Amino acid sequence: MTDAFPRGRFVWYDLATSDPVAAQRFYTQLIGWTTKEGTADDQPYTEWVNGETHIGGVMQLADEAKKAGAPPHWLAYVTVPSVDETLRQAEGLGAKQLMGPMDIPTVGRIAVLQDPQGAVFAVYTPSGDAPGHDGEPAIGEFSWHELSTSDYAAAFDFYSALFGWVKTEAMDMGPAGTYQMYGRLPGRSLGGMSNKPADQPGPPASWLYYVTVPDVHAKIDQVKQLGGQVLNGPMDVPGGDIVAQCMDPQGAAFAMHSLKPSA
């Protein structure tokens, strides 16, 4: 792996769900993705395609995950030069190995981990060029990666050590505490981290991924018409962009993001 390898970049997004066919129907209509049969080790797997770019996939939520209480969920993959070395480092930092490491022919090597506070993520060393790109996300690509956790400061230290992420901006949210933004490079944020409010339902720590749409306001009614729920928003965020947090019909959380409307 060369020095140009993009360590710490979000590059792939999988949806594990109770009904892959229904999930495909929901997201293709809402976001505009298409689908293509993909590659998986031992189960049916369908890839999400945004224009001509493959960005992730959808699969059946595994029985062992259901038994462990896992709901339908999105899982993001972050690039690392070596999955095995990253796994050893992560475990030394207090993380837990959930799956792998394992090789996927023609794709690369992956592992799924749980960070010290309980949030689940995946690491990926591609067999060829790393997918994804830096710079502004296109419509239909994931643009923001948000961690709600029990100790955002400790979580940042963990991910910074693992992926080389750096602090970018921080926002004082008053009684809700600090919203710490982070990125691969100074000045360009990939997402934010904050402490989860005590009265907020759900697991103690989890990731939420925002997909870029042309107009969040125009998508809200469609989310409901397609059987999903709007959990929060739409709302303006600093800088003028608009976001909304939602849940698909099978119960997987996701969010939408649109850029500041032009004057």
Residue at token pair 């690491």: 123
Q: Residue 2: is its pLDDT beyond 60?
A: no
Tell me the domain boundaries of the chain. Answer: 10-126
Higher pLDDT residue, 68 or 75? 75
pLDDT at 136: 81
Coil, strand or helix at 219: helix
Assigned token pair, 104:
């996927």
Q: Enter the tokens of residue 82.
A: 């070596």
pLDDT of residue 123: 97
Residue range 3-28: average pLDDT?
A: 90
Who has greater pLDDT, 1 or 73? 73
84-91, Cβ contacts within 8 angstroms, sequence gap of 24 or more: 84/109, 86/111, 86/123, 86/162, 87/111, 87/113, 87/123, 89/161, 89/162, 90/115, 90/123, 90/158, 90/162
> Which pLDDT band, with edges at 50, 70 and 90, does 63 fall under?
confident
Read off the pLDDT of residues 161-178 as tens digits, 9 standing for 90 and up: 999 999 999 988 888 889
- Residue 40: pLDDT band with limits 50, 70, 90: low
Q: Are strands 73-79 and 242-247 parallel, antiparallel or unpaired?
A: unpaired
Name the least confident of 18-22, 47-51, 107-111, 178-182: 107-111
Question: CB of 234 within 8 A of CB of 220?
Answer: yes
pLDDT of residue 203: 81
Q: What is the per-residue pLDDT across 176-222, written as a single tens digit (0 to 9) for each?
A: 889 999 998 777 899 999 999 877 777 889 999 999 999 999 999 99
Give residue 4's pLDDT band: very low, low, confident or very high (50, 70, 90): low
State what percent of residues in the chain have pLDDT above 90: 67
* Residue 215: predicted pLDDT: 93
What CATH code would you report for 10-126? Answer: 3.10.180.10
- How does pLDDT run across 89-138, given as a tens digit for each residue? 999 999 999 998 998 888 889 999 999 999 999 999 988 776 667 778 88
- Give me 160's structure tokens: 């910074």
- Residue whose C-alpha is closest to residue 54's, from 121, 128, 112, 111: 128
pLDDT over 90 at 21, yes or no = yes
On the question of pLDDT at 67 being above 70, the answer is yes
Mean pLDDT (whole number) for 33-54: 86
User: What pLDDT was estimated at residue 66?
Assistant: 79
Q: What is the mean pLDDT of the chain?
A: 90
